[in-house]
Amino acid sequence: MTAGASPVRTAGDEAFGEADRAAEREADRAVDRAAASQLRRRLGRADLRAVPEARRALRELLHRWGPPERSEVAELLTSELVTNALVHTDDDAILTATVSPDGLRVEVRDFVARGPRPRVPVAAEDTNGRGLVLVESLADDWGVCPHEVGKSVWFELGARAA
């Protein structure tokens, strides 16, 4: 092609260009759906105001995913993990909640290596020590994942329970 000459376009080029644009739009929609199905929040050290904020954010995430009543157990368990991370580690934490067709996974990462220990409260009036017992009894699955610095405590609820 010489300088100043226009490229020759064929109908096939335009169709290919439209197919590329359609594929790009679909990829953008997939990214938007993925972003809409995940919550990620940094929680400030010992800032217990983060607990109701985390519950509200999770409720919003699950509202887009399913009916609001499905979020009650997830909100309760999330608030327990967030509270534990903020009270027992004296450091920041990161909350991540991901919804998928299979269910919900919530994890709270902190930066302290000491692992959580589920314990049964001693007295009926004792308001401490029930968090992990609740997680253990209400979650479909839960666990602790160690990291090079700190750990993540997580739980999962199936699609019907979330």
Q: 95-117 pLDDT, tens per residue?
A: 999 999 889 999 999 998 887 76
Helices marked H in 43-103: 50-65, 72-89
pLDDT (0 to 100) of residue 71: 84
CA 142 to chain centre: 14
Residue 73 pLDDT exceeds 60: yes
From residue 4, give the alpha-carbon distance in Å to each of 1, 7, 29, 81, 125.
Answer: 9, 9, 38, 65, 85
pLDDT (0 to 100) of residue 31: 46
30 in any annotated domain? no
Answer yes or no: pTM beyond 0.75. Answer: no
148 in any annotated domain? yes
9 in any annotated domain? no
CATH code for position 121 = 3.30.565.10
Residue 131 contacts residue 84 (beta carbons within 8 Å): yes
pLDDT (0 to 100) of residue 158: 87
Mean pLDDT of the region 23-52? 72
Mean pLDDT of the region 46-58? 89
Count Cα neighbours of 95 within 13 Å in the Cβ-side half-sphere.
29
Lowest mean pLDDT among 9-13, 41-45, 131-135: 9-13
102 in any annotated domain? yes
34 in any annotated domain? no
